């Protein structure tokens, strides 16, 4: 890239920097972007750049592959229902150990090492993420009640304590949240990171929610990228089976966010270098956007 091209890139970014200054953007960090060292470094630099141009960033991270890896080493077979990990007491112990004790600290350390000011949190810290048990309902026919599938200590977000996050943002810190919630009796719940990110974005009335994934975005029945969806078309994609597996909680998280006041939600390919900056600061953007 020559010097003129570099200057044009900065000029293209200027209106977006102006638009997002002093706004909050919630990012769900997961997939290959968390696994490959070069992508991890670039993610940290992207987050720090956003902070320095005045964007308040909140990170919610996943860690599914790391959890599954440790479970398999311990002889525990991972099981999933509609994209949710079945979580018994033993699995919950592994989830909390990996997400809070290992993954969260690694992300915080990486951002801080590159010049940022990150603080790691579990949803249990300060009752940040309060949760109720989640149940999965399986359709069994028009004339029969749905089957209730118990998936153990899997939670759904009931309350987000925004005061904790506002206090950190006001002090110039970048919150990094592990998706472990706290139940009414103080028990830990495993919560899908996409759903936590959507709930946090909605509570903070964030400008954007960005979900990093290992696919290009939401695909149609012909396996073609859908660049933009309204909330109505997103709901239809869930109802008619266009969206399956792990994309289900992602799209549900986006719907919760935009229905609670977030301007736009984005599902983008975290395998691309600087995918967040390309989405935020270029005219073309990447991935799928969900708008109200």
**Rg of the Cα atoms in the chain:** 19
Q: Is 279 helix (H, G, I), strand (E, B) or coil?
A: helix
Q: Distance between CA 174 and CA 6 in Å, rounded?
A: 28
Residues 6+ apart with CB under 8 A from 261: 202, 205
Q: Over 90: is that where the pLDDT of 243 sits?
A: no
User: Is the CB of residue 213 less than 8 Å from the CB of residue 31?
Assistant: yes
Give, for 106, the enclosing helix (H) or strand (E): helix 104-113
Q: What percent of the chain has pLDDT over 90?
A: 64
Q: What integer best gives the mean pLDDT of the chain? A: 90
d(CA 208, CA 22): 12
Residue 104: per-residue pLDDT = 97
- pLDDT, residue 231, reads 92
Q: What are 70-87's pLDDT values in tens digits?
A: 999 999 999 888 778 899
Mean pLDDT of the 125-139 span: 89
pLDDT of residue 140: 67
Structure token digits, residue 44: 């940290």
- The stretch 97-116 carries a mean pLDDT of 95
> How far from the centroid of its chain's Cα atoms is residue 139's Cα?
28
Residue 278 has pLDDT above 80, yes or no: yes
Q: What is the pLDDT of residues 6-43, one digit of tens each?
A: 788 888 889 989 999 999 999 999 888 888 888 999 99
Task: Tell me what the mean pLDDT of segment 221-248 comes to.
Answer: 88
Share of the chain above pLDDT 70, in %: 99
Q: SS3 for 268? A: strand
pLDDT above 70: residue 188: yes
Hunting for tokens 């028009």 — which residue is that? 142
Q: Which has the higher per-residue pLDDT, 143 or 116?
A: 116
CB 64 within 8 A of CB 85: yes
Cα 275 from Cα 286, distance rounded (Å): 7
What is the secondary structure of 157-173 as a DSSP string?
EEEE-HHHHHHHHHTT-
C-alpha dist (Å) from residue 278 to 54, 192, 217, 244, 273: 17, 26, 14, 27, 9
Spatial contact of 136 and 149, defined as CB atoms under 8 Å apart: yes
Scan for tokens 């993954």, then name that residue: 103
Question: Kind and range of the H or E element at 59?
Answer: strand 56-61
pLDDT at residue 255 in the model: 93
pLDDT of amino acid 10: 84
> Residue 292 pLDDT more than 90?
no
Checking if the pLDDT of 92 tops 80, the result is yes
Whether the pLDDT of residue 291 is over 70: the answer is yes
Residues in the chain: 292
Task: Please report the domains of the chain, with CATH numbers, ordered by start residue.
Answer: 23-286 (3.40.1160.10)
pLDDT of residue 139: 67
Residues 110-132 have a mean pLDDT of 95
Average pLDDT over residues 216-244: 88
pLDDT above 80 (res 3)? no
Answer whether 61's CB lies under 8 Å from 176's CB: yes
Task: Specify the pTM.
Answer: 0.90
Q: Are strands 228-230 and 208-213 parallel, antiparallel or unpaired?
A: unpaired
CA nearest neighbour of 174 among 50, 68, 7: 50
Helix 162-170 / helix 193-204 crossing angle, nearest 10 deg:
70
Residue (of 110, 185, 191) closest to 154 by Cα position: 191
Residue pair 228/288 in contact (Cβ under 8 Å)? The answer is yes
């Amino acid at each position: 890239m020559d010097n003129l091209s570099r200057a044009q890139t900065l000029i293209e970014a200027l209106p977006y920097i102006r638009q997002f200054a002093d706004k909050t953007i919630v990012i769900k960090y997961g997939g290959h972007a968390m696994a490959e060292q070069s992508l991890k470094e670039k993610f940290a630099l992207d987050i720090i750049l956003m902070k320095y141009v005045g964007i308040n960033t909140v990170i919610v991270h996943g860690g599914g592959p790391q959890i599954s890896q440790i479970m398999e080493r311990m002889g525990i077979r991972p099981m999933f229902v509609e994209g949710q990990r079945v979580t018994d007491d033993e699995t919950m112990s592994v989830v909390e150990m990996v997400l809070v004790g290992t993954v969260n600290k690694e992300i915080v350390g990486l951002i801080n090492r590159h010049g940022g000011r990150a603080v790691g949190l579990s949803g249990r810290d300060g009752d940040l993420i309060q949760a109720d048990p989640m149940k999965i309902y399986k359709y069994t026919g028009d004339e029969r009640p749905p089957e209730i599938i118990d998936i153990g200590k899997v939670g759904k977000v009931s309350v987000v304590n925004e005061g904790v996050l506002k206090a950190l943002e006001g002090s110039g810190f970048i919150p990094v949240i592990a998706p472990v919630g706290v139940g009414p009796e103080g028990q830990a719940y495993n919560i899908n990171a996409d759903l936590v990110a959507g709930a946090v974005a909605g509570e903070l009335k964030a400008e954007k929610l960005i979900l990093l994934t290992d696919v290009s975005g939401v695909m149609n029945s012909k396996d073609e990228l859908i660049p933009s969806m309204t909330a109505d078309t997103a709901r239809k994609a869930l109802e008619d089976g266009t969206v399956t597996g792990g994309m289900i909680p992602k799209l549900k998280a986006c719907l919760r966010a935009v229905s609670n006041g977030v301007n736009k939600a984005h599902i983008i390919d975290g395998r691309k270098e600087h995918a967040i900056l390309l989405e935020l600061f270029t005219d073309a953007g990447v991935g799928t956007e969900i708008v109200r």
